[in-house]
Amino acid sequence: LVIILEDFAEVTEYLSRSNYTTISLMYSLLAIISKNIVPDDFSIEVVDLTSLNTTFDDDVGYEDASEDEPITRQPKPALYQSINHYWKIPQEQGMLAALLDSRFK
């Protein structure tokens, strides 16, 4: 679990030192985090986070992990889905901003 959250800690520390956080910086950092937390199992249930009917349901339809499954596989799908939901940056705009930013040359 520490391995997964280590990237979040590094990005948070980097952003806290930055005086001017721009979309180009956010796009690059979120791309790095997303790449590292891509779930191993793509058969995850998609929960509609915008609907109150499913967001606060007690039974969303998840299965308990087996005893021998590493704990790192459990939070990856939730983190990946949350980043993709809450940080929707249009890919073209984020890439263009990163391309034009002199910090990334």
Cβ proximity of 89 and 30 under 8 Å:
yes
Domain membership of residue 79 as a residue range: 2-104
**Section 4-20 average pLDDT:** 85
Which distant-in-sequence residues (6+ apart) come within 8 Å of 23 by Cβ? Answer: 89, 93, 94, 97
Mean pLDDT of 7-32: 83
DSSP code of residue 69: S
pLDDT band at 4 (very low <50, low <70, confident <90, very high): confident
The model's pTM: 0.56
Spatial separation of the C-alpha atoms in residues 2 and 8, rounded to whole Å: 10
**Two tokens at 93?**
């705009």
Task: Report the number of distinct structural domains present in the chain.
Answer: 1
pLDDT in tens, 51-88: 666 555 555 555 555 554 566 667 888 888 888 888 77
- What pLDDT sits at residue 72? 60
What is the rounded CA–CA span in Å between residue 76 and residue 92?
Answer: 26
